[in-house]
Every structure is written in C-alpha cells, then in structure tokens.
Copies of this chain bind each other. A is one copy, B any other.
Amino acid sequence: MTPAIDGPRLLARLDSLAAIGRTPTGACCRLALSDDDKAGRDQVVAWMRDLGLTVSVDPIGNLFGLRAGRRPDLAPVMTGSHIDTVRTGGAYDGNLGVLAGLEVVAALNDAGVDTERGLVVAVFTDEEGARFAPDMLGSLVFAGGLAPDEALAVRGIDGAVLGDELRRIGYAGTAPLGEPRPHAFVELHIEQGPVLDAEGVRIGAVEDLQGISWQEIRVRGQSNHAGTTPMRLRHDAGYVAAAIACFVRRLASEMGGSQVATVGKVDLVPNLINVIAAQATLTVDLRNTDEALLQAAERRLSDFLDQLAAEEGVAIERRSLARFEPVRFDPAIAARIAAAAAGRGLTHRPMTSGAGHDAQMLSRVCPTAMIFVPSVGGISHNPAEHTAPDDLVAGAGVLLDTLLGLCNEGE
C-alpha cells in the first residue's frame, strides 16, 4: 500500500496545537520553555508515543521521536522544526514542520511501510530566540555551534535562566548531544515571505538561505534650532540617518540578485519638530545568499559612512548585532523536492530562504534542504499569518515523498 498523507488528520493536529497558548486576539504564544511551550511539548510527545516512536530528549531540550528502520546501523533521516513561537505567532510557523513529520510517520505506519534508514521527527528548542537569544539556539547546540553549558546559562528577556526553565518544565534530557548525526535533514516550513503567493506557485524547493548582517549605527551630531541655524552650519544626525537609509536602498537596487537591505529601526534625540537632531540610532539589516557579496555590501556601507561623517561633520559609530554566513543547501535534496512536487502535479520553483531556520544549523552536520509552502500576503509573526489548508497538505505530501526517497538511500 502506498503511503498517503491524511489531510484532515494533519489539519486537526495543527488546530489542536494552535489552541495551546492561544491569546485573546487569536495569536499563538508559546515562548520557549514557558508553561505553554511545555504543554505543547507534552502534546507532541503524546502523539509521538501514539505513533510508536521512541522518544528521547537531549540536554538542551531538543526532542526526538525515532521510527526505526530495517538498518539501525545506518544513520537515520531527520525531519522537524520547532513549536516555540514569538509573542504574536501564527499557527503554522515551525508547527507545520513538526506535525507534517508526524503525519509522514502516521502515513508510513498506516501503509505498513518499512524503510532502510530510520526516520526521526525533531522538535528543536528555542528556534525563535524571542525569550532566549540567539534564535535557532537548540539546533545550534545540536550542530556543535554553541557549547551546551553556555546555552544553559543564557538569561532571557525576563531574567530567567534557560537551564533553570528547562529543568522546571521537565525537558532537561540526557540523550547524547548531536546524536544521531542524521543522514539528511529536510524541513517543511511556511515561506514567511510573499514570493510563492505573489507568483501563484505552490511549492518552494529551497536551495539556499540568506546570510545575515545586522548592525546598529549611532550618529552623533549637534542639536540646534531648526529656524536659526543655516544649512551650512548644521550637523544633523537625523539627516545622516535618512541618508544612510537612502544609501542602503540604492545599494540593494544596484547589487540586485538576492541582496536586500532594510532600515527597520530609527530613533532620534530629542525628536522634536523644531530641533535639529543631536543623535540618531538606526539599524541596518543586510542579507545575501553569497558571502562575498554580503561582505562587499558591508564594505560599501562602511565606506559610505566614513564619507558621510566627514561631509556632515558628525561622528558615526557602528557595532555588529549579528552575523551569519549564507548557507547552500544540498542540491540533490532540493532536486528530490522539485521532482516530488512535479510528480504530484504541483507548481514549484527554486527558492532562497530570507529567514533563519533550524535547517540552517543542521546544514553544518548533514545534507539539508527545505520545502516552502505559500504564506498568504507574505504575512508572518502575526496572528494573520495564513497558509491555505490545501497547501499545508500538499507540502506534507512533498515531504513524504522526499523523506521516503532519502530513507531508502543506501550507504
């Protein structure tokens, strides 16, 4: 019997999980290691056990459900995502990847299908980074990118210590960290961007993930009376902030390709109508799929800042808030995803992920790729975040085919 996704079963589990931590405005709030996160984890563990998976938890709270294969000596294939959310999250961000993984298991069980390699469904701790920084914390530790002791000592935005919270909710596990090292990792996720929806395409075969450069820029000028100060005698920190924002827009336009640039945060002091700003603090978010180009963008910005500071007679300080190199996913797995979509008669296209994901970290330890399904209007991190039920189910189908193929890959 051919394994088949049970759409209503998947959608019902998504609804059940979405109800855990639901806020009065209909958003989903399961901040990492909160009581609602615990309740969500407990539910997922119960489903894993119902499906006959062997459940384990590692020291950073990453949760794994293993469906054994015929060849326990071969590395298993892993799928999954996260169930922690931002404060005003939607129902599918992360949750889709986990519950579609469970639905794949259920489909294989129902069809009585065994696979060469085992299949692991993973729930990584604290992907969002909303309570404990950085984001993708659990998968970063899994991949050996952050020492567990350091991660356990992280203090959250509410002052709580990560290790204490992990113990408090009963998810401080003992399974050996980083094991099993997967044969491959495939993550199904909503796009959280507008491309698939705008183009009417149903499946994204994600080939790469943007490198991220976050900087905070602080401009110090001189506050003065807006009426009495001639233009030539000004050191306007507010104008300088605007000039930087206009520059990064031009930079992204000229560079083209995958380059994006955003000034999302600007704060002026004193921020009064008739006072030339003394100080401006702004953030610049640069992303590119190519590390050399991302560095070039950073250099061009830096040179511009030096020139602008000299021209305007202001002081400009910059500090890096975050920096991740781009990630190239595994082209063979991306090809499997495209073929699976085509085989199911689904429109598909190669894609870049502009957001960070657990897959970004897993790519450090095994061949990895992602499957995207459309986000209506590109809306994310918002209760209005939505993906059509048919698209959720279609994505799960592509995940099933892809995982099945990988689980039956030989040595």
Instruction: Verify if A252 is at the interface (C-beta below 8 Å from B).
Output: yes
Shortest Cβ distance from A241 into chain B, in angstroms?
7
Collect the chain B residues with CB atoms within 8 Å of residue A198's CB: 233
- In the assembly, what is the distance between CA of A198 and CA of B233, in Å? 9
Task: Fill in one digit per residue for A246-265: 1 if any B CB lies within 8 Å of its CB, else 0.
Answer: 10010011000001111111
For A95, the chain B residues whose CB sits under 8 A away are: none
Contacting pair A231 B246 (CB below 8 A): no
Interface residue SS majority, chain A: mixed
Closest to A277 in B: B264
A139 at interface by CB-CB < 8 Å? no
Q: Measured between alpha carbons, how far is A271 from B266 in the docked complex, in Å?
A: 7
Q: How many residues from A make CB contacts under 8 Å with B?
A: 59
Residues of B within 8 A of A272 (CB): 264-265
Does A355 sit at the interface, judged by CB under 8 A? yes
The answer to whether the Cβ of A358 comes within 8 Å of any Cβ in the partner chain is: no
A198 to B234, CA, bound (A): 12
Per-position binary interface string of chain A over residues 236-248, scored 1 when its CB falls under 8 Å from any chain B CB and 0 otherwise: 1011011111100
Name the B residues within 8 Å of A236 (CB-CB).
262
A378 contacts B229, CB within 8 Å?
yes
Judge if A118 is at the interface, Cβ distance under 8 Å: no
A163 to B187, CA, bound (A): 70
> Does A349 have its Cβ within 8 Å of any Cβ on chain B?
no
CB of A125 within 8 A of chain B?
no
In the complex, are the beta carbons of B226 and A285 less than 8 A apart?
Answer: yes
Q: Which of B212, B246, B380 makes the CB contact (< 8 A) with A242?
A: B246
Closest residue of chain B to A285, judged by CB? B226
Given A226-B285, A228-B354, residue A264 in contact with residue B275 (CB < 8 A): yes
The reply to whether A194 and B229 contact each other, CB–CB distance below 8 Å, is: yes
CB distance from A278 to the nearest CB of B (A): 10
Which 8 pairs across A and B sit closest by C-beta, in order of nearness? A193-B228, A227-B354, A228-B354, A242-B245, A226-B262, A242-B242, A273-B283, A226-B285
Q: Using a CB–CB distance below 8 Å, which chain A residues touch chain B?
A: 191-195, 198, 210, 212, 214, 224-231, 233, 236, 238-239, 241-246, 249, 252-253, 259-268, 271-277, 283, 285, 287, 321, 353-356, 378-381
